Homo-oligomer: A and B are copies of this chain.
Amino acid sequence: MVEKISKSHEDYLEAIVELGGTTKSAVRSVDVAASMGVSKASVNKAIAVLKEGGLLDQPYYGDITLTKAGFDYGTAVLERHHLLYTFLTKALGIDEKTADEEACIMEHAISDKSYKKWRDYIKKLDLD
């Protein structure tokens, strides 16, 4: 059973996965900060919490690697984002910038059970 974390922390995990972070491939704090548009101090604080929760590792002054749990969590958020983005752009015809912004908020709303239904529904639409 995965512990539920805040939207903000979900965003951090998502960004790390998007930057190529895995259990093997490390990511730098400064890149997370740049990609999210937040200060490195904010990243540092979020990292401490996620580390505490067993979602990632970071040695003192070192780079960030995800744990299995952290990678799975971040990947799940990213998948929801992609799914919603596809639906908003392809099914509804919303422009890319708007779709991305709106997917960013909606991605935090979708439970595992709902995600599967969304996925099946979109698969049936057979978009492009």
Q: Which residues of A contact B (CB under 8 A)?
A: 88, 91-94, 98, 101-102, 104-106, 108-111, 113-114, 117-118, 121
Instruction: Report the minimal beta-carbon distance from A67 to chain B, rounded to whole angstroms.
Output: 27
Contact between chains at B106 and A94 (CB < 8 Å): no
CB neighbours of A108 from chain B (8 A):
105
Given contacts A102-B110, A105-B105, A106-B106, 14 further A-B contacts (CB under 8 A): A91-B121, A92-B117, A92-B118, A92-B121, A94-B113, A94-B114, A98-B113, A98-B114, A102-B109, A102-B111, A105-B106, A105-B108, A105-B109, A106-B109
Chain copies in complex: 2
**10 chain-A/chain-B pairs, Cβ below 8 angstroms:** A88-B114, A91-B121, A94-B113, A98-B113, A101-B109, A102-B110, A102-B111, A102-B114, A104-B109, A105-B108
CB neighbours of A91 from chain B (8 A):
121
